[in-house]
Amino acid sequence: MTNPYAGEVSLVINGERRVLKLTLGALAELEDALGATSLVALVERFEAGSFSARDVMALIMAGLHGAGHATVADDLLRADIEGGAVAAARAAARLLALAFALPEAAA
């Protein structure tokens, strides 16, 4: 079970429900993976609907790592995500939104 107040999102990967969470360390990993100096541009891309598959994968990977999963990029690239690209993009957008939401907005 996920806790949106803790910034958690769930996604079914290879038939297993996984919890994803963007901790401070995961956000730093995300910046590094995307070669960004801040996350503002990424947030703006998601708000405008102009994000890339790379953005989605980087967010999911960072969320997995933030939740304690030791997933490597090659495994995620080959993974079956229930709901496909749409579900992955929704989970990534939700992760990003919850990472910067006030607690009362998380529900």
Q: What is the pLDDT of residue 106?
A: 52
Q: What is the pLDDT of residue 89?
A: 94
The 10s digit of each residue's pLDDT in 12-68 is 999 999 999 999 999 998 888 888 777 888 888 888 888 889 999 999 999 999 999
In angstroms, rounded to a whole number, what is the distance separating the alpha carbons of residues 36 and 26? 14
Taken in order 25, 74, 54, 106, the sign of the CA dihedral is negative
pLDDT-derived band at 105, boundaries 50, 70, 90: low
Contacts of 27 (CB under 8 A, 6+ apart): 39, 62, 66, 99
Q: What is the pLDDT of residue 16?
A: 96
Domains of the chain by residue range:
4-101
- Quick one: angle between helices 24-34 and 53-66, nearest 10? 150
Place of tokens 């995300």: 30
Contacts of 72 (CB under 8 A, 6+ apart): none
